[in-house]
Chains A and B, each alone.
Chain A
Amino acid sequence: MSEETTATAEMKLPKDLAAEKGLVNVQIDGHWIQVPRGTRMIEAAKMAEKEIPHYCYHPKLSSPGNCRMCLVQMGMPPRPAPGQDPTYGEDGYQEIGWMPRPVIACANTVAENMGIRTTGELVEGFREGVMEFLLINHPLDCPICDQAGECQLQEFSVEHGRGSSRFKEDKIKKPKNVDIGANIRLDDERCIMCSRCIRFMDEVAEDPVLGFSQRGTNTAVTVHPGKRLDNNYALNTADICPVGALTSNDFRFQMRVWFLKETKTIDVNCGTGCNTVVWTRGNEVFRVTPRENNEVNSAWMPDSHRLSFHHLHSDSRLTSPMVKKDGTHHETSWTEAISAAIEGAKNLQPDQIAIIASGRMSNEELFLTRQLATALQTEFLSIVPRNGEPDHKLISADRNPNTIGAQMIWETENASSKLGMIREGVKSGQIKAFFVFGENIVKHAGFSEDDLAQMDHLVSSHILANQTAAASSVILPGAGFAEKRATYVNITGRLQRANQAILPPGNAREDWETLAALLSALDENYTAPASMDGVFKQLATEISTFSGQSFGSIGDLGVKIAETGVTIPLIEQEKARVESGQITG
């Protein structure tokens, strides 16, 4: 008896083995693989490392299956006649009966013993046919189209298109260069009617202003009459547009994408810390686009954040350290500026000095700022809170990218709690010197220009010239978000890494170097770390929350180092949609 059971166990069919794990067997281009039940055919092919060309399918959006580009050949075992038992081959699979017609891979799910062919004469034929139809009305716009170089229509027409057109009739003319919103330009002739933008605005941005009008070859994407595509997430439609129908006004005709270098980094405009890619050529940033991270920003980011890189190339950038002499600022060397910064504070008592740091500073900079406070023996150390309206999607109420980091590194409940004390100290005349890092305290921290004027000594570090810099005795130019490697902790307690895409302009330096130089000038025994990684290593050994982490271990997607209990609304919404099977995710 026991022998028999072993025999049946050995005889177990692949379908039963897979079913035990909730999987199904699928044959993709002749190879059998196991994929979870309910997987879309296109995702199953991706698991088998077979690319199925597609336009309308997007894992974060619903699948209407309207572009027809993902056609594949499918086969199932023939249905047994009544009373007939299915027969299994030597490998344990039933023979597949191939269907001689195509099915779309994006909206169909896999089944047990299913076969998918992503190559072959028949499938190539489907694709060539669809490609030819998509191209009949497409204008020859590539030389002026911003999408050229990252256009899927270009890519697939190289793979599946014809060398020349057979279309002899006149092409349909549609509106071009249409102003449909503050950040987006529409070109209807380029559109291939994939409807990704329409679905994005409806499902993710929840502002359904886009839709199709007309029918047949005259179908065109339009905005609802009387409305505009002015949503703060509108630029994501330009990202997901597989062609150049929707392009960014900001990036319009700035640079061809093939010249741009991509640097994976994160956004620093709010506590969410959207993962981004910064696109640069030479020492100039041309655009910022979101990068997929399902724990932080899905595949999206708000327009207001992606467009806030222009200040990096502003004319008011501080490019050289300056010291104030006889009421005017003079450019000087770093050595002299650092010694002037320390010299001015030497004759003051520790309780006469205050340090105002910023929630926009990185973990490493905040760590060094804390060391600076210890070295100056001052109690007055605070960041400037920066709050705004949350949009209940990706923008958090906390507009500082690193408030959580400041709390962790300074080991305090509220990193800005001392700001009130500092204000009182300034009012009573007790505080006579300020060290300000990365903040314009006139604008954001509630100090007046008169307050700053009465200071004996004011050292400020910022990237732009502002009122605080104007009042400063010593100005130390800093580096912008794309100009330094750094780590930040977002509102959910996720440690993320920002990478350096360009160099700081002129003589400006990365901020950790400035802080380390100040510490070295204060204390002869201080050994400054040789690199950014050195600062982080020191931070990881001294602050328990960061222990065991390194620049390498953070990776491109970051690591969760603490539980803050805060969630990102858009991510929660997406999880619910994946759960209910509306999207693949």
Chain B
Amino acid sequence: MATIKVTRPKLTAGEKIYFGSIFKGMIVTLKHAYRSLRGKSVGSKELASSGLGITMQYPEQKWDEHLPEYYRGVPALVTDEQDRERCVSCQLCEFICPPKAIKITPGEIPNKDEWAHVEKRPQSFDIDMIRCIYCGMCEEVCPEQAIYLRPDYVVTGNSRSDMVHDKERLYEIGGKRVGLVNKWNKLK
């Protein structure tokens, strides 16, 4: 192995005494401290700061209104204009899900049901939020536009089973979503 000799850079007298730089830094810090005390930190308005600095006082204050459109929070199921479950339990999300968080039991829609011609819907649809990594692959793979990552991000629970979102909970989070492709409801 070749040895490369490195020569240390030659410092000037000013550089050798580093107090100058320290004072420079302190001035920058003090500038920001002064701004912060006046409630005028950069971005404090956008982030709804509590007045001191830009720190949001969570959980009294929440991110909710400040999240961008594309924010990827919890995955949830959506219904269409006519409150039909969009999910037909094709199980592609279960297949693609990298951490295997989704578990679906497919079921048949009974003949007397209003949506009998759709033939299939999930009997149960569970997403284990301990496993979910919020990657959004389920949304991407869904051929029925039935699963979306919603802006909700607070997922808490006191037990492992609390952290599993069942079908009812998923529709509660997802809600109704309009303006999507209409394939089954003959609206077109």
Question: What is A's interface to B at a CB cutoff of 8 Å?
Answer: 140, 142-144, 148, 176-177, 252-256, 258-259
Q: A142-B143, A144-B120 are in contact. Are A253 and B90 (CB under 8 A)?
A: no
**Residues of chain B within 8 A of A258, CB atoms compared:** 95
Determine whether the beta carbon of B95 is less than 8 Å from that of A256.
yes
How far, in Å, is B166 (CB) from chain A's closest CB?
A: 19
Residue B108 CB within 8 A of the other chain: yes
Kindly state whether residue B27 has any CB partner on chain A within 8 Å: no
Q: In the complex, are the beta carbons of B91 and A259 less than 8 A apart?
A: yes
Residue contact B183 to A140, C-beta cutoff 8 Å: yes
Query: Given B88, B95, B116, which contacts A144 in the complex, CB threshold below 8 Å?
Result: B88
Min CB gap A260→B, angstroms = 12
A252 nearest CB neighbor, chain B only: B108
When C-beta atoms are compared, the residue in chain A nearest to B90 turns out to be A143
How far is B117's CA from A299's CA once the two chains are assembled, in angstroms?
33
Would you list which residues of chain B between 77 and 120 have a CB under 8 Å from chain A?
88-92, 94-95, 106-108, 116-120
How many Å lie between the Cα of A144 and that of B118 in the bound state? 8
Contact A176–B95 (Cβ < 8 Å): no
A148 to chain B: closest residue by CB: B90
Which interface class (under 10, 10 to 19, 20 to 34, 35 or more) fits B? 10 to 19
C-alpha gap A259/B120 in the complex (Å): 18
Q: Pick from A142, A176, A255: contact of B106, CB below 8 A.
A: A255
Q: What residues on B are CB-neighbors of A255 within 8 Å?
A: 91, 106
CB proximity of B90 to chain A, nearest CB, Å: 4
Q: How far is the CA of A143 from the CA of B183 in the complex (A)?
A: 12
Residue B139 interfacial (CB < 8 Å): no
User: 9 closest Cβ contacts across the A-B interface?
Assistant: A143-B90, A144-B120, A253-B106, A256-B91, A144-B88, A143-B143, A143-B88, A253-B108, A144-B119
Picked from B91, B92, B108, B117, the residue with its CB within 8 Å of the CB of A176 is B117
CA distance A252 to B106 in the complex (A): 10
Docked pose: A144 CA to B116 CA in angstroms: 12
Task: Say which residue of A142, A177, A259 sits within 8 Å of B95 (CB atoms).
Answer: A259
Contact yes or no, A253 B95, CB < 8 A: no
Q: Contacts of A148 on B, CB cut-off 8 Å? A: 90
Expressed in whole angstroms, the minimum distance between the Cβ of A146 and any Cβ of chain B is 9
A259 CB contacts on chain B under 8 angstroms? 91, 94-95
Report the minimal beta-carbon distance from B100 to chain A, rounded to whole angstroms.
11
Q: A143-B120, A144-B90, A253-B119 are in contact. List 6 more A-B contacts (CB 8 A).
A: A140-B183, A143-B88, A144-B88, A144-B120, A255-B106, A256-B90
The residue of chain B having its C-beta at the shortest distance from the C-beta of A140 within the complex is B183
Q: Does B128 lie at the interface of the complex (its beta carbon under 8 Å from any beta carbon of A)?
A: no
B144 contacts the other chain (Cβ, under 8 Å)? yes
Q: Is the CB of A253 within 8 A of B107?
A: yes
How far is B81's CA from A502's CA once the two chains are assembled, in angstroms?
Answer: 44
